Amino acid sequence: MSDAVPGFRVRRAGPLALLQDAGRFGVRRLGVTQGGPADLHAWAWANRLVGNGWGTTALEVTFGGLALEAARDLTLAVCGGDLGATLDDAPLPLWRGLRVRAGQVVTFRQPVAGLRAYLAVAGGFRADPVLGSTACVVREGLGGHDGHGQPLTEGDRLDTSAAAQDERSEAAPAEVRPDYAAVPHLALLPGAQIGEFDGLSLYRAFNTAWRVDDRADRMGVRLTGPRLHCRLETLVSEGLGLGAVQVPPDGQPIALLNDRQTIGGYPRLGALTPLACARLAQCLPGQEVRLTAVAAERALAEHRRFLAAVR
């Protein structure tokens, strides 16, 4: 791409650092999943703080372990989980724009609070889109910095826009910065099959503390707790949207995230809202979460307020 210039060199690669734009849409009929940022909220605020428009490609860093050396002067912001980020071994401030000079090193160590951090640079990262998106989906081998869905590895180069890097020091308001140590109450829109679960199961679903299982990734998060029972024994496979909460025969719900399969045949309690998915994506294994049923009107109003703040 003509407007791409070197932005960072990967000095040390963590377990999972992926480029993500807003996601890959219009291709689910081909069996291709959405991708995009697991934490939409943090991704959007990181872009907002460096002046990027909606959909600009940023870097999603999971678990940490990543070190990036700046190849040029850059304006960046890091939002989301606290992964012990430093700039030349000094603590790097989160949720605000800052200037990084060529040769300085941004390091993500390990989770302190939350699981994923998002690094955005002014003008965005540059990569060739695949099926209309740079979103990196490792399972499908699509998108990312190399176009083949690979995580960053040592020695890789991250290109950025050649646009001017204006100085920015804006900080996100305190009220939009989640407390990742608190128990999240995840908003769930009840689905068409919720009436097929028995009354005790419904009571337990919304009045029990669930735990995030260690079987959790960008495809979905399994929750452990009381067994839920559904009267439906068979179900024709249906399309699966972001946040769908399936209940397989073992009765333990699975909340599906960005890299989910496109169809599924398990009954569903409903679907988490996009912001609830974002909050769940920051939960470490063993963390407690609670489900809260919400009306569509309330969920839509909350999402509109979020979009108005970050666009």
* pLDDT tens, residue by residue, 9-41: 999 999 999 999 999 999 999 999 999 999 999
Tens digit of each residue's pLDDT (9 = 90 or more) over 126-147: 999 999 999 999 999 999 999 9
Residue 139 makes CB contacts below 8 A (sequence gap 6+) with: 33, 149, 219, 259
| Chain-centre distance for alpha carbon 35 | 9
Q: Domains of the chain, with CATH numbers? A: 4-176 (no CATH), 185-310 (2.40.100.10)
- pLDDT tens for 153-209 read 999 999 999 876 777 789 999 999 999 999 999 999 999 899 999 999 999 999 999
> Which amino acid does the sequence have at 2?
S
| Integer Cα distance of 241 and 189 in angstroms | 12
Tell me if residue 133 falls in helix, strand or coil: strand
The pLDDT mean for the chain works out to 96
**Token duo for residue 22:** 């807003």
Q: What is the pLDDT of residue 97?
A: 96
